[in-house]
Structure 1
């Protein structure tokens, strides 16, 4: 279920429009599993995912000078400086794009062979689609910071996953996050009775159960896609019992 968390800043309104751009094969997986895939952040293109900023590192180096080199605090600081990242394999992320309109940049990134898909939703739908999920899902906006001058809060392990360099501002990203734990070699979540339950985990992440009918408002196909692709998406959606409006984007149709 969706759960608020002080690290996560939600959009101001539930009606804030969000988009999920994805390649066709991932759309099929979404329908087939009735789940959103949450990926391990280390698989993302940005090598700074989950890292503290250079401003944090500068502060940590200053702190290191104040402690005895053999103290536990000094050892922890040195370990963090060495890796630059929070060491946890339990954070899994699912990313969305906030925008009132479609994004040409996002289409270019995700329209593989002009066969991309975009799911139009809003923050309220995104929250509510996890109503049957048995473990917490946290959702918040990504903050884009000056990596050399701005520090990331260090009070919680989630904070580094909610800050990125300003070079990525075009993503205008909102993130859903789930946190799992490893137990007896298996990735698990802790249910409401404090019992460990196994997740549907792959080497790349986990599948989080959702309600597709709640999540999806409309489905768009790539503005450069062919008519046959639009019909294919309609046919497959119908086979999976998804009754949503499916539209070919007119982003590049030109003036009439």
Structure 2
């Protein structure tokens, strides 16, 4: 994994990735992590260089923008992204948003382990290796600042309203492959990883049903990862008097 910007990656910091049970089992079975196309994200601000107030929108301000918007739509399609949460501790908000209302599972790793465990990605066996890059997302007030970033760097900036996400991203840009006439998939790609190197911990969601817990534990056990499975601290029993 290459840094998107030198000196920005904290190689030993803890990263979390939250999954639904189905996606987690698929992740283990395939030993690969899905990287969605930026065009698949619901966030309308994804990749925005600035934002404008509706009151100042007019034909003059929009002049010449449409061709650029079409070009950027294609760039979004060719940029594949995996999103992680930067935190030393689990997040109830992340459980609720990204793990089916706390009924999923999470893994913990570090940027260093991602770099050590990532396998070379090729669109086809006969093609060259595509570069995996990573780094923390920078949060900017897009109502006050116009971004000047590279065509990949723009995907490492987000509107300040999303700063609570504390996001770390992995990206693969297929723009160069497209310029050589390679057919780029509209949706995401799967990037292979050595799971034993990648995964530090597997944390079971606090609202998982027993049959789903068993499914996850069995899937982890089949790959020799059962010793990494643990419970969320949100299932611990609260006590109201400290003894």
Structure 1 length-normalised TM: 0.76
1:145 aligns with 2:140: yes
Residue 207 of structure 1 corresponds to 190
Mapping 1:131-210, distance limit 5 Å:
131-133=119-121, 134-154=129-149, 156-180=150-174, 181-182=177-178, 186-187=183-184, 201=185, 203-210=186-193
Residue 3 of structure 1 corresponds to 2
Mapping 1:51-70, distance limit 5 Å:
51-54=48-51
1:97 aligns with 2:97: no
RMSD: 2.7
Gaps of 5+ in 1: 56-60, 66-73, 188-200
The change in CA–CA distance for 1:101 and 1:114 in structure 2 (over 3 A counts) is closer
Residue 24 of structure 1 corresponds to 21
- What is the CA–CA distance in structure 1 between the aligned matches of 2:146 and 2:237, rounded to whole Å? 44
Instruction: Count the aligned residue pairs.
Output: 221
Residue 98 of structure 2 corresponds to 110
Mapping 1:217-236, distance limit 5 Å:
217-236=200-219
Q: Conserved in 2, the CA contact under 8 Å of 1:10 and 1:140?
A: yes
Q: Where does structure 1 differ by over 4 angstroms across 4 or more consecutive aligned residues?
A: none
Equivalent residue for 1:50, pick from 30, 47, 53:
47
The change in CA–CA distance for 1:108 and 1:51 in structure 2 (over 3 A counts) is same
Q: Which is strand-richer, 1 or 2?
A: 1
- What is the CA–CA distance in structure 2 between the aligned matches of 1:108 and 1:240, rounded to whole Å? 27
Q: Deviations over 1:48-104 (max 9, x none)?
A: 21221137xxxxx9xx99xxxxxxxx96x6633x55946413210000000010011
Q: Conserved in 1, the CA contact under 8 Å of 2:40 and 2:187?
A: yes
Residue 194 of structure 1 corresponds to none
- What is the CA–CA distance in structure 2 between the aligned matches of 1:83 and 1:184, rounded to whole Å? 19
Q: Deviations over 1:176-203 (max 9, x none)?
A: 000113365623xxxxxxxxxxxxx5x4
Q: Deviations over 1:196-239 (max 9, x none)?
A: xxxxx5x4211111111111001011112234432221111122
SS in 2 for 1:251: helix
- Deviation of the 1:4 alpha carbon: 3.0
Q: Conserved in 2, the CA contact under 8 Å of 1:147 and 1:165?
A: yes
The change in CA–CA distance for 1:78 and 1:250 in structure 2 (over 3 A counts) is closer
The change in CA–CA distance for 1:162 and 1:214 in structure 2 (over 3 A counts) is same
